[in-house]
Structure 1
Amino acid sequence: MTSPRSRLSAGAPRRSVPGRPRRRQPAVTGLVRALEQGQRPSVAPPITERARVFPVWLDALSLAALLVGAACALIVSIDVIRHPQYMTVMNVVWPVTALFGTVAVVWAYFRYGRLASMAAHHAAHSRHETPLAKTETPFPVMVGKGALHCGSGCMLGDVAAEWLAFLVPAVAVWFGWQSLFSEKMFAVWILDFLFAFGLGIVFQYFAIVPMRDLSPGEGIIAALKADTASLVAWQVGMYGFMAFAQFYVFKHLFGHRTPVNTAEFWFAIQGAMIAGFLTSYPVNWWLVRSGIKERM
């Protein structure tokens, strides 16, 4: 049995013994030492400041660029609903590419995209005339529309793949992270490519089949021929830009790579998509000129 004295000592608070110094906590000891030496004690910054990865101006710039892209996509979406495109898939292509092409895509849509509306085509056919989209659209613009057609699938595939790998990290492991690649980004790029390739073939299928009156099997083969080279060229530019942004611009200049859930990441994606457009444009020029890809 426990004696009353032991129970009392166990339940009662311990008293300091006269003459014996009390042990201070490390944080208190450091504060006292700083005061004794006449130094100003360091105060930890607020949590919001410690969590900030990039400077405020870059946050503001990235957010502004994304808002401009969203506004441009909204403007095009509203007009596409009012004036649907003759080629149905372009109803998706124009708003999606406005997310990164912003003002340039809005201008191209209202200047040349409107010429390919369903109403414009029906009006031309009723007068037994060639649609204005074929007579008033310069060849370089047709090539650009073909490149944007490819880029829309890349954009949607990239958004889906990046968020999927971010929310479910095991997906990146399935594609080689921690086994083939030490960098998660490289594994996600494989997923990006698969998503973009699949969407690109679907988009190309629905562009070619109605215009050439092909069977489903012939349409798939034609879509593969038309989109594979263009998509690879686009991804080369996109991956190259993102590698430069992540490993040099963000990591070297700011000390951190940017994660998916930041405005800076998607600001970089906007630049990567523009780089993809530039690298795929010559390939699309050849594809359209040779007749492998339809003139849009």
Structure 2
Amino acid sequence: MNSDYHPPLALTILSGIFLILGAICFLIVTVDIIWRRGWRSMMGIMVPVYPINAAYMMPVTLYVYFKYGRAAKPMSKAQAYADDSKTGHCSSKQAPTDQDSASPPPCHAPSTKEKDEQLDLPDHPPACHSDLEKATPDDSDAHCHHHDASRPMIITLLVGVSHCGAGCILGDLVGEWLVYGTGAKINGHSIWAELLIDYAFALLFGIAFQYFSIAPMSGEYGPKTVWRAAKADILSLTSFEVGAFGWMIIYQVGIFNYQLSMDTWTYWWMMQIGMALGFATAIPMNYFLITRGIKEPCC
């Protein structure tokens, strides 16, 4: 790449605007997860996946997260006590009162009819996140499958693609800076080295993300699940990189004639566009993998 080349000022400003918007979306999701203590009720792997994808998919990820993936607000002790009282569960803790001598209301023993209503799960599904905060990991996994069946297929696909998307963006970040720092080139140009190294790191990150998506839902940890994650992610990630790498070749070779340096705002805006295109090209493959049962739909 020609380090003497500088993109036009207008293009640099436009690049900066989109990159800053991506950073804002990343921070919005991150702060919301931290404020709501999302790691208590969300599938663990989705805690980093949502913010990472928000950095390049911006409004799409914000919609999916706030509509379908957002954790519930942490309940105060008084709210938790009131919730237990309504459902007839006895609590060993007293609700906070202004008078130390005050005693908690007696526990309400549910009637036979109430018990039947509580056990009638198909007709009375639990609330998405509030119940998850009090559930065990196994309960959360069962709920994830129930929730997947009730949401639109397009949302399931967007969440499924987000796993390989997060792996790709991390792999590209590591690979790009590694090539830039070492000056690695193939056939006199760094882009060909970038494609190989980016793909290798994206595959490692992608399989890791997929593993920690499959393992909690299946309850199986070990080589068997690693193989399942690899089978699902190699196809999904490769379809993602078709769009991302295709755009990299277009802008590096066709538009900028190998001159755009990695230390410019425009370079990373081009990468942001490439990630969004890769997300789009991965949707058909994820539809195939999920409908065939090769890839697990995620919360």
Confirm or deny a common fold (TM above 0.5). yes
Offset, 1:135: 4.8
Q: 2:60 aligns with which of 104, 126, 149?
A: 104
* 2:75 is equivalent to residue 64 of structure 1: no
Which letter maps to 1:140?
I
- 1:235-250 mapped onto 2 (5 Å cutoff): 235-250=241-256
**Residue deviations 1:77-127 (CA, integer Å, cap 9, x gap):** 01122223521111111000111111221121101112697645246888x
Name the counterpart of 1:230. 236
Offset, 1:249: 2.5
Offset, 1:168: 2.1
Which letter maps to 2:276?
I
Which letter maps to 1:103?
P
Q: 1:142 aligns with which of 149, 156, 162?
A: 156
Name the counterpart of 1:87. 43
Report if the CA contact (8 A) 2:165-2:275 is conserved. yes
Give the distance between the partners of 1:54 and 1:203, measured in 2 at CA. Answer: 35
Name the counterpart of 1:113. 69
Q: 1:198 aligns with which of 188, 198, 204?
A: 204
Report if the CA contact (8 A) 1:234-1:280 is conserved. yes
* 2:191 is equivalent to residue 185 of structure 1: yes
Give the distance between the partners of 1:262 and 1:243, measured in 2 at CA. Answer: 17
Give the distance between the partners of 2:28 and 2:157, measured in 1 at CA. Answer: 23
Gaps of 5+ in 1: 1-49
Report if the CA contact (8 A) 1:112-1:133 is conserved. no
Offset, 1:52: 6.4
Give the distance between the partners of 1:134 and 1:281, measured in 2 at CA. Answer: 17
Give the distance between the partners of 1:144 and 1:80, measured in 2 at CA. Answer: 19
Offset, 1:279: 1.0
Name the counterpart of 2:75. none
Name the counterpart of 2:277. 275
Question: TM-score if structure 2 supplies the norm length?
Answer: 0.72
Offset, 1:225: 1.2
Gaps of 5+ in 2: 73-127
* 2:173 is equivalent to residue 159 of structure 1: yes
Which letter maps to 1:186?
W
Which letter maps to 1:72?
C
Give the distance between the partners of 2:197 and 2:4, measured in 1 at CA. Answer: 29
Offset, 1:202: 0.7
Moved more, 131-140 or 62-71: 131-140
- Cα 1:250/1:291, change in 2 over 3 Å: same
Give the distance between the partners of 1:130 and 1:212, measured in 2 at CA. Answer: 13
Give the distance between the partners of 1:282 and 1:235, measured in 2 at CA. Answer: 13
Which letter maps to 2:205?
L
Q: Runs ≥4 in structure 1, deviation > 3 angstroms?
A: 115-120, 122-126, 129-133
* 2:245 is equivalent to residue 289 of structure 1: no
- Cα 1:122/1:136, change in 2 over 3 Å: farther
Give the distance between the partners of 2:221 and 2:16, measured in 1 at CA. Answer: 45
**Residue deviations 1:104-161 (CA, integer Å, cap 9, x gap):** 21121101112697645246888xx956733542111101111111110000110111
Report if the CA contact (8 A) 1:200-1:227 is conserved. yes
Higher RCO by CA contacts (8 Å cutoff, separation 6 or greater):
2
Report if the CA contact (8 A) 1:115-1:133 is conserved. no
Give the distance between the partners of 1:134 and 1:80, measured in 2 at CA. Answer: 21
Which letter maps to 1:67?
I
The percent of aligned pairs where both chains have the same amino acid is 34
Q: Please identify the structure whose Cα radius of gyration is greater.
A: 1
SS of aligned partner of 1:112:
helix
Aligned length: 234
Which letter maps to 1:149?
H
SS of aligned partner of 1:295:
coil
Give the distance between the partners of 1:68 and 1:248, measured in 2 at CA. Answer: 27
Give the distance between the partners of 2:143 and 2:18, measured in 1 at CA. Answer: 39
Give the distance between the partners of 2:131 and 2:178, measured in 1 at CA. Answer: 40
SS of aligned partner of 1:210:
helix
Offset, 1:51: 5.9
Report if the CA contact (8 A) 1:124-1:130 is conserved. no
Which letter maps to 1:64?
I
Offset, 1:212: 0.5
Which letter maps to 1:193?
Y
